[in-house]
């Protein structure tokens, strides 16, 4: 779950990470109220989960109530890269001497957490990595050991932060790691982390992604769902309890297992196609699950073919085939299906599909993932 900036700052505050005083606002009057509470001057910031807010006019400085009303009125309802602004964050403006970058995420290849720290903040870390990679300090953290104050301090020194920022930055690094670890985040990022003229170090922005697998430990996360941005396909999939991520290609993907689904996206790309989605139906491929998956895929106007990639382990091939046949009777599909069915009882499953008498222009079977991908891409073209 990706949080909005204001939600990320609220999450940071639970771990005593210093953030600017402020509050969310859904109307102009609420923005004025929050500005008065935070104290002028304030910054009025659009809350959308996309970069480039400032360039689009979604972040404005206001010195008084008149300016808050003007900026809030202009920003609410604004379209920023396809994201409509429905909420603002109004916070006290900060004086800035320097801007830094810090984040924690998981490096799966190393099986450790990864901290990235740079003295060059305020821009995307990808830009820094490309233009000045030496400006980024990377530190792998064993989850058993965690991040000590001594190691955090040395990282600040290695990043060449000025002496007057070391203590404050060290403190925030330790707290941010605790937020990332105990708070079950996939990503905890501050960009920029600022140094004020007074010597204080302060989180001016917040980018937080929560690990959905840890949701059972955090009933309080329900409060973050109000403005979660999902397109219509993702909403439909969520209603059917399907693991779905919408993309912008033309080949609809259904697979059983996240790893197989990702591999399917890769092989479609490998043979010159583009995936319309990631959809993992897990271990259950009965008629209800398959019908739900096909309904979601069918809803996407961009889908020109559907690639069903099933490897039966616990899932048995004949049950998958029965589910597909029954689901096709329920859903009026606009795109043809290509299926690769392998694993447990796959031969029986393939025979069920043949016996169903479904025309080949509606459903065809291929023996391998690569051949099925080529067929699906050809149909989509």
Q: How far apart are CA 331 and CA 334, in angstroms?
A: 9
If asked whether residues 267 and 249 sit together in one domain, one would say yes
Q: Which of 101, 177, 180, 244 is catalytic?
A: 101
If asked whether residues 73 and 103 sit together in one domain, one would say no
Paired sense of beta strands 83-84 and 79-80, if any? antiparallel
Which of residues 47, 68, 92 is at a domain's end?
92
Please identify which residue in the block is written with the tokens 């233009």: 131
CATH number at residue 279: 3.40.50.261
Query: Would you state the pLDDT for residue 322?
Result: 87
Please identify which residue in the block is written with the tokens 């990864």: 114
If asked whether residues 280 and 360 sit together in one domain, one would say yes
Could you read off the pLDDT of 85-142 as tens digits, one per residue? 999 999 999 999 999 999 999 998 899 999 999 999 887 888 888 888 888 999 999 9
- Look at the chain and report how many structural domains it folds into: 3
Longest CA–CA span in the chain (Å) reads 78
Residue 366, both tokens:
């291929």
Catalytic, 101? Answer yes
Catalytic, 15? Answer no
Length of the chain counted residue by residue: 381
Helix (H) or strand (E) holding 191: strand 185-195
| Residues 243/228, Cβ–Cβ less than 8 Å | no
Average pLDDT over residues 43-54: 90
Answer with the residue of higher pLDDT: 285 or 303. Answer: 303
Query: Would you state the pLDDT for residue 240?
Result: 76
Closest CA to 135 of 113, 152, 115, 158: 158
Q: Which of 91, 99, 120, 189 is catalytic?
A: 189
CATH number at residue 131: 3.30.470.20
Kindly state whether residue 195 falls inside one of the protein's structural domains.
yes
Kindly state whether residue 13 falls inside one of the protein's structural domains.
no
């Amino acid at each position: 779950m990706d949080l909005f900036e204001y939600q990320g700052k609220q999450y940071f505050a639970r771990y005593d990470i210093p953030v600017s005083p402020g509050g969310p606002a859904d109307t102009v009057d609420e923005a004025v109220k929050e500005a008065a509470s935070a104290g002028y001057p304030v910054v009025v910031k659009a809350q959308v989960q996309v970069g480039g807010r400032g360039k689009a006019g979604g972040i404005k400085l206001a010195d008084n109530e008149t300016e808050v009303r003007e900026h809030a009125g202009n920003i609410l309802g604004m379209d920023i890269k396809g994201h409509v602004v429905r909420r603002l964050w109004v916070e006290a403006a900060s004086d800035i001497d320097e801007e830094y970058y810090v984040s924690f995420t998981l490096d799966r290849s190393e099986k450790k957490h990864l901290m990235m720290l740079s003295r060059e903040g305020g821009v995307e870390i990808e830009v820094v990595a490309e233009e000045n990679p030496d400006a980024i300090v990377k530190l792998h953290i064993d989850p058993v050991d965690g991040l000590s104050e001594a190691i955090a301090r040395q990282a600040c020194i290695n990043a060449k932060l000025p002496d007057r920022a070391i203590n404050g930055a060290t403190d925030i690094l330790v707290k941010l790691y605790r937020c990332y670890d105990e708070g079950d985040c996939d990503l905890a990022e501050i960009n920029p982390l600022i140094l004020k003229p007074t010597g204080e170090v302060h989180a001016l922005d917040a980018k937080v992604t929560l690990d959905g697998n840890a949701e059972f430990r955090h009933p309080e996360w329900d409060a973050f769902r109000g403005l979660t941005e999902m397109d219509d396909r993702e909403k439909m999939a969520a209603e059917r309890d399907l693991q779905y991520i919408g993309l912008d290609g033309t080949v609809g993907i259904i697979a059983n297992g996240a790893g197989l689904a990702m591999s399917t996206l890769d092989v479609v790309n490998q043979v010159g196609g583009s995936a319309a989605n990631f959809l993992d139906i897990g271990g259950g491929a009965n008629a209800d699950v398959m019908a739900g998956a096909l309904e979601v895929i069918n809803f996407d106007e961009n889908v020109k073919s559907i690639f069903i990639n099933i490897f039966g382990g616990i899932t048995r091939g004949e049950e998958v085939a029965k589910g597909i046949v029954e689901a096709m009777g329920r859903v009026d599909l606009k795109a043809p299906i290509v299926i690769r069915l392998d694993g447990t009882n796959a031969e029986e499953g393939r025979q069920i599909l043949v016996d169903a008498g479904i025309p080949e222009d509606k459903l065809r079977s291929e023996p391998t993932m690569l051949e099925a991908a080529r067929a699906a891409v050809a149909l989509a073209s």
